[in-house]
């Protein structure tokens, strides 16, 4: 493998995947563990897009375009070394490339989950705007990021703590504490990290 790819250590990450894969849960836990800011991508959808998803109407590329630009701009505004965790479905390659345009050291944590498990999680989750009827469309839209540079693929069924440890282990050489200076304590490598 190219050493530049091997040595790539993100200073910002996107926690990505289909609805219900655990983006918000894992993103929030990683943000706390790293002392990095958290950007919840769903908070930046337009009201029209939220209404569509609530009504069971899938978003199109056009619906997502402005949202991705907003997220990319937010990444661009980070100061060098200012870590950030963004939760964003980032289902297609071109969506991820829009985000990459905003940050040179952007990594992606892909929480891989199958359709039945995602559907069960979305159905069981109370009070969320996302309609379970849209889970199939999430999978139809998904282009796996496996093999793209700067991507870690994790099994979304692993316990939350294990997922967070895997992310910290990946980021450890570059990760900073809340002040942006202290290095993270190295994490013991774990099993189940599929990247």
Ligand X SMILES: Nc1ncnc2c1ncn2[C@@H]1O[C@H](COP(=O)(O)OP(=O)(O)OP(=O)(O)O)[C@@H](O)[C@H]1O
Ligand Y SMILES: O=C(O)[C@H](O)[C@@H](O)[C@H](O)[C@H](O)CO
64 contact, one of ligand X, ligand Y, none, CB 5-8 Å limit per kind = ligand Y
Helix, strand or coil, per DSSP, at residue 27: helix
121 contact, one of ligand X, ligand Y, none, CB 5-8 Å limit per kind = ligand X
Binding mask 114-153 for ligand Y (x = CB under 6 A): ----------------x-------x---------------
Provide the Cα torsion 165, 166, 168, 174; round to 10°.
160
Q: Is the dihedral of CA 183, 186, 191, 194 positive or negative?
A: positive
Q: Which residues pair with 153 in a beta bridge?
A: 110
Least Å distance, CB 7 to ligand Y, is: 31
Binding mask 21-50 for ligand Y (x = CB under 6 A): ---------------------x--------
Helix, strand or coil, per DSSP, at residue 165: helix
CA distance 24 to 5: 27
Q: Residues 163, 111: contact at Cβ < 8 Å?
A: yes
Least Å distance, CB 182 to ligand X, is: 27
**In terms of CB distance, is 40 or 148 closer to ligand X?**
40
Chain residues that interact with ligand Y, rule: CB under 6 A:
19, 42, 59, 64, 89, 91, 130, 138
């Amino acid at each position: 493998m190219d050493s530049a790819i091997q040595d790539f250590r993100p200073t910002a990450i996107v926690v990505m995947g289909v609805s219900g894969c655990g983006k918000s849960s894992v993103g929030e836990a990683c943000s706390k563990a790293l002392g990095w800011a958290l950007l919840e991508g769903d908070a930046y959808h337009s009201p029209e897009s939220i209404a569509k998803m609530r009504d069971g109407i899938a978003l199109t590329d056009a619906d997502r375009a402005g949202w991705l630009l907003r997220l990319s701009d937010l990444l661009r505004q980070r100061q060098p070394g200012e870590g950030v965790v963004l939760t964003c479905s980032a289902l297609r390659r071109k969506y991820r490339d829009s985000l990459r345009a905003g940050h040179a050291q952007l990594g992606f944590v892909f929480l891989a989950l199958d359709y039945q498990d995602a559907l069960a999680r979305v159905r069981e989750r109370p009070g969320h705007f996302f309609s379970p009827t849209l889970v199939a469309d999430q999978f139809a839209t998904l282009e796996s990021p496996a093999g793209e540079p700067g991507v870690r693929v994790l099994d979304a069924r692993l316990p939350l703590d294990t997922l967070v440890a895997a992310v910290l282990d990946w980021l450890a050489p570059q990760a900073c504490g809340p002040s942006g200076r202290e290095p993270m304590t190295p994490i013991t490598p774990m099993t189940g990290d599929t990247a």
